[in-house]
Every structure is written in structure tokens, then in C-alpha cells.
Chain A
Amino acid sequence: MHKIIRNIFSRKLSSVKDPTTEDFEITGLQLKEHVCRVFGRSLAIRELDSGSDNSAEIELNNLSTPHYDIERFGVSFVASPRHADVLLITGAVTRNMQEAVMKTYAAMPRPCWVIAVGDDACGEGLLNGSYGVLGGADKVLPVDFKIPGNPPTPLEIMQGLASFMESIRQPKA
């Protein structure tokens, strides 16, 4: 009990605002505008790891942490491809994941879009030529947009999403 009271009356710790966060806010608001117009206020993303090193996943997870909190801009990561507008694919497509990647894409309602995140998914990584990978995401799926980086930072992913939204103002046939 005393802990709750102490918590109410104690001085709150506030963190220092740094410039990168400000960029993020601006991009976020732009993104929100697009999301409202193109997707009717909510953009549902299904993330799919097709063979990345795990760094791109960590950055995508970071988008939902307190520093970024991407959900307030209308973007949410969903659990099922059946609920998704966009398939966000990270990593070169490995031979072992090819079937799962295609099944995941097939499970999405149409219209849908595919965004490749990170150098490997964009087909520019170090892994080209290996027997284990087929290449970038566009070797298997129709990729609509690419966000390069090794891995791209949360801000770069946000900026990428905003430019993607701009590029699809006209809904896909």
C-alpha cells in the first residue's frame, strides 16, 4: 500500500529528449497521415523472417518499444498473415524457408503488398552465391518496396514506410 502512495507523490523521472526522437515524431506524423488516407486509419503488418541474421527483427521489435511506439501512428504488427495488409520480409530467402514464405504470402488477403527490409532481403547482401539462399525476397515474391540497410534503423524503417505509402497512393488493381 505504502508503495502505491509513495509512487503517487514521488518525483517522476523524465528522460531527456534527444534530436533523433524528434525526427521520428515528424516522420511518424507523416506516416499517420498516409495511413489514414490510404488504409483507413490502420496499417497491419505481418513480419516474416526468411533467413536474416536477427538484427532486422530486433529493430522491428524496437518500433513497438517506448522510445518509438509505432502503434500511435496507426501501424500495428499482427500475428497472422490473414490480418495483414503488408508482408514485411527480412533476410535473404533460404532454400529451407522458400515454401513457408510462399505459403505465408498466399494466406494474405488481397490486395496486399510486400516490403523487403534490410540488405539481404533487398538482394544486396553478402550471401549471394551461397547454395543455401535463393537470393533477395524478389526471387520468390513480387516485392513492391525496398528498405535497405544492415539493418535499417527504426527511423529508417519509419521513413521507408512513409515513402512506401506515398508510392501507393493509387490502390493496386
Chain B
Amino acid sequence: MMDIVTTGLMTHLESRQIGSRFSRGEGGEYYLRVPGDGIIEAAGWLANREDLALIGIWAVPGHEKDCLELYYAFELKQPSPALVMIAEVKNNQAPSIYKIFPAAINFERRARDWYGLDFTSLPDTRRLLLHEAYPADFHPMVDSDPETLSSNLATTEYSFKKFEGEGLYQVPVGPVHAGIIEPGHFRFSVIGETIFNLELRLGYKHRGLNKLAEGKTVAEVNKLSESISGDESAVNACSFSLAVEKIAGAELPKRAWELRTILLEMERLYSHLGDLAGMLVDVGYPIGASPFFILREEIMRWNATFTGSRFLKGAIIPGGLSRDIEDGMLQKFKFFLVTFSRRMRKALSDVDESAWVIDRFETTGIVSPELVAPLSLSGPVARASGYDGDTRQLHTYGVYTGLKYTIPVKTSGDVLARFRVKAEEAASSIDIISETIARCSPGPVFSGFDPGSGQAIAMLEAPRGRNIHWLRVKNGTVEHWEVITASFCNWPAIEHAVINNILPDFPVINKSFNLSYAGNDL
């Protein structure tokens, strides 16, 4: 029943006289309850395994009153589901595991903001999502009385890392950028034209979605999940719905999953096409970008034809889909995709023949493969740096099991690698859509169910990478909802990618990642 890692971990903890309790969640994930101080020992043992990544840390109110529990989620690079360790928090204090898993820093800072938890030895105790507009002692998940918000605001200014030296100067950019872009602050330290250091400050779009979800019905929160990040509406709605369905033990009709797969891949397709176009615009090649803009617009119009929304909003609901898509329409789309994919190949080969574009892309903004594991990178960003994991294959869901498709992996980690990965993923999305339409089964697209109570984790591959929803439901009402988008883990990679690049190359590097600000800030 248990996999080798969990068994190994339990044996190890036993040998150190640390008791642990195993249980299985509704989503098939493993829960391992350890004492608060046992987490360091457990994390230390897990760190020796190369096929394992920390994918999230979050706090949840315990079953008893005034008691918090920390959840540490790990992904294994094998078909077994996630391993979640639960450690009880005592006196609002917990040990930081950043020395073992560096990706923990931002997760712990987030939990610190939300719950006022004190992580001992956490190297960065600045607030992550709550800025100066919030009082220093305000922690929304414990005390969210908006009345207290206008009084005793934080008076200390956010302190950026200091860099000094001859010829070194700083360029602060944002939160409002010169373009139609989301808000975020970038602090560049530059020598001449070369970037010496970049520090990000995000959180400007923090809307308090998690707190807002508490006490709402699953249908309401499903709508909320679509606004986590507008261009990832379908995958977030699907992740949330999947968690709800796991808790309820609902069996979906096959057609529901087939249509979901089509919608999820359409989302990936239009996202990637937009990124390809954006990268070309940012190296000053609008002629090359135009075909991709045109192709993307066409997919967005098909989105509207299928679901009534150009962003696939309102289509995926717990239990299946809100409406069926006519078979005739699907066949038409499949036919359309034949010429579509030919036009996409043509546009790509035009880019390949433009030496100056390749020259700008190559060796720009390198994310070295050694960063993938410590930062828990995922998605195209990780796959352009040699990581060959994809949630669709590792922890398969829906009808992906029976489909044949390739997942591209590149090793150079530069803008060109990300461009190629996204282009090839777009092509493989077209294959998946065509194949799914060809084998689409008849039948209903929705099955009713009783939401019930329980907790479950759902993990899906969003266009930007690993998308995680963890949910605790009581009689159909959401008690706790935790979202970890791929953007949250991938953002810090940009700080590494830009070093030693010239400042004018930052836009194209940023676009090659195209991470979501909204999805990071929640």
C-alpha cells in the first residue's frame, strides 16, 4: 500500500525514536504525521533522494481549537502520489527547513504573513504578500477584521538587499510598468549595462482569495478559482473540481474528462502561442510575432464557440462540465487544426531562418539545470533546463493515460530553449486535441454528487507547470483552500536567469518565463 519512500522514511524515523502516523487522503495522497521537531530529521532524510521535490508548505487550523498544523508536501518523480507530512505547531513556532529545501523560504514567508508563525532561523523575515498597507501584526488567516486594518500601519519601509561599489547603480522598475502588464517591482543592480543582481518584490495583486473562500460552497469557490489567473482559468477550475470530486468520491462520465482534456490543451495552446509572439516582439521582430498573434486569436475564438468565454471561464465545474460541446463542432475544430498546425509550422520555420532572432535568444537568460531541484521549478521553465517531468505523465489524470504525445525537454536553459519547448508543447497540444476528438465517446458530461466532507490534494499540469490545489471540505462548504501555482515556485528563477545579462534583454527573458503575477499573489 505504501511506496518505498514513505516506508523508508517511517523506518528511519523509528530508528531515531520519532513516532509517526500514516494515513491516506481522499486524493490518494499519503499523510504522515510527525511531531513538530521531527520535521527537520524527516526532511533531512528526504533530501538525500534525488527524485523528490518540495512542492508546498502551508498551515491549516488543526481540528482542535487554537492549534495550527503545518503541511509539507513532496512530489515523488514516480507514479505514486504526493507525500504530505503534517507537523503540529507549538507556541506559534516552527523550525525552518530552508537549509534542506531552499524553495521553502517563500512558502514559510507566506505562512508567516498569513498566520503570524515564527519560523526559527528563517533568513528572510520580510513580509512577502502583505505590504506597508497592512499593520505589522495583521495576519489575515487568524484575524481578518477589516476594521483593524486602517489603524497602526507598518511604518518601516521594505528593505531591499543593499549593493554598493564603484560604478554600481540601481534601477527600480514598477509596480506600474510601461505597458499593459501586471504590477510587480523589480530592483536591478547594474554595472554598466550588465545586471549584477535582481531582486523581485511581488504581492501587489494580493486579493486574499484563500480567506475569501472559507465558508463558501464548492460551486462558489470554483468560480473564485477561475480568477486566480485569468489565462489559467480552465486548469485552476479543473484542479479545484478534481479535489472536490476526489473528496466526494464522484465518478465522472468519460466524455466529461475528454472534453476537459480538450479545453485544458486549448488553454495551453493559446497561452504558449501568446508567449512565442511576446518573445519575438521583445527582440523587435513584430513581423515574426504577427502570425502567432493571429493563431492565438483564432484559438480564443474557438474557446468562445465552445464555452461562451474566450478564457474558458464557467466551463469546468465540480462533477463535469457546465455544458456539452456538439460533436459536429468538435469535428469542425479538428478539421480546422490541420491547416492551423501547418500555419504554425510555417511561422516557426520563419523564425528559425531568422538568424538575428536566434542570436538574441541563444545564451540569453540561462537557468542552469542545477537550479531545478532546489527551487522546485516545474513546467516549460524546468523542461528547458533538462527536467523531464510533467504532471500529465508523472501523476496522470483524466484520459491522458491512453494518449500518445511527446513532452519536449531541452538542456541549454536559455530563452531559445524555452521558446523551443513552448513551440513543441503547442504542437503536442494540437496532437492531443485531435486524438481526443477522434476517440470522443458519447454520453453525458455531468454527474451529480454529494460534496460530503474530507480533504484532498489535486495536482495538474498548467501551461506554466505544476498546479496544486489542496482542499478541506465539510458538508459541501469549503473549510480551507490552499493553492500553489507554478508561478509561485518559478518566479525566483528569474532572479538567477538575468545575472550577467544586459538590462535591455530583461523583457525577453521575463517573457520567456511569462509567469503569472496574479497566480503568485493570490
Contacts and interface: CB of A to CB of B under 8 A. Distances in A.
Contacts of B343: 13
B208 interface: yes
A54 interface: yes
By secondary structure, the A interface counts as: loop
A120 B296 CA distance: 25
A150 B310 CA distance: 10
B189 interface: no
Interface stretch (A25-33, A127-135, A140-148): A127-135
Interface in A29-60: 47-60
A53 B227 contact: yes
B310 A59 contact: yes
A47 B180 contact: yes
A131 B144 contact: yes
A62 to B, nearest CB: 7
By secondary structure, the B interface counts as: loop
Contact of B294 (A15, A48, A79): A15
B206 interface: yes
Interface stretch (B30-38, B171-179, B443-451): B171-179
Contacts of A48: 176
B274 interface: yes
B180 A126 contact: no
B133 A129 contact: no
Contacts of A125: 227
> Range of interface residues on chain A?
35 or more
A96 B230 contact: no
A62 B299 CA distance: 13
B131 interface: yes
Lowest 10 A-B CB distances belong to which pairs? A55-B230, A132-B208, A79-B178, A53-B230, A65-B293, A130-B208, A53-B227, A132-B207, A95-B133, A130-B212
Interface of B: 129-131, 133-134, 140, 144, 146, 149, 175-176, 178-183, 203-209, 211-212, 220, 223-224, 226-231, 233, 274, 277, 290, 293-294, 296-297, 300-301, 304, 309-311, 313, 343, 353, 516-518
Interface of A: 3, 13, 15, 18, 20, 47-62, 65-67, 77, 79-80, 91-92, 94-100, 104, 120, 125-127, 129-133, 150-151, 153
